Structure 1
Amino acid sequence: MADIQNNLQDTVRPRTGDITEPPRGRPPVALPDWMRNPEPAKVTMGRQVTAAVLRLPGGPMVRRAWWRWQRRRRLHRRFPILVPLVAMPLAFIATMALLSFVYWLFARIWATH
């Protein structure tokens, strides 16, 4: 019995000869020259318009406001359960209102003939 226990202990504990140290750092990456030193960005029409807007008074403020608008959290992300619960009845009411309006228009057209 003691022999079996000694064998189990040997398999559980790593032997010092089996332990290898993990490699440190990242291996060097050989990138092509066009990736290491890319060409400067081309001056497109969009970049020219952006530069012209930024030169105007208040241009940087408009740009920061646009970035803030893009970073905002959408309503359906903030209230994932409430938005569908409100949107479904609103969609139903809007559909019924549009159908009623169409029926009213047809009734007026047929009543005048």
Structure 2
Amino acid sequence: MALWLVALIGLTATALCYVAAGLVRARRRPPLPPSPPREFLLGHYRTVPIDEAFKFYADLGKQYKSDVLFFETFGTKWVVLNSLKAAVELLDKRGSNYADRPRFVLFEE
């Protein structure tokens, strides 16, 4: 009878540690660009149109007053850049911060 009590206490402690670690990780994340409200499992799947999506992104950029927008569908994260200025800033000037490919010194020599 005491064995199930020990197992229950262990499972409860494990669950509490898992939730606490998730809360700490969520606080450390940098803020994401603006986006429309997302649905629980689908994300922005039903929000993003298939035809003439560029017009939709331009309208959302004006609505949120941002050149950078964020979308997520089924766990895939998208960043939409609405202007040349935002594209040059993120991809050219800060591109080395976001590149995850390792440098191969052998190829440089």
TM category, shorter: under 0.3
Q: TM-score, normalised by structure 2?
A: 0.25
More helix by share: 1
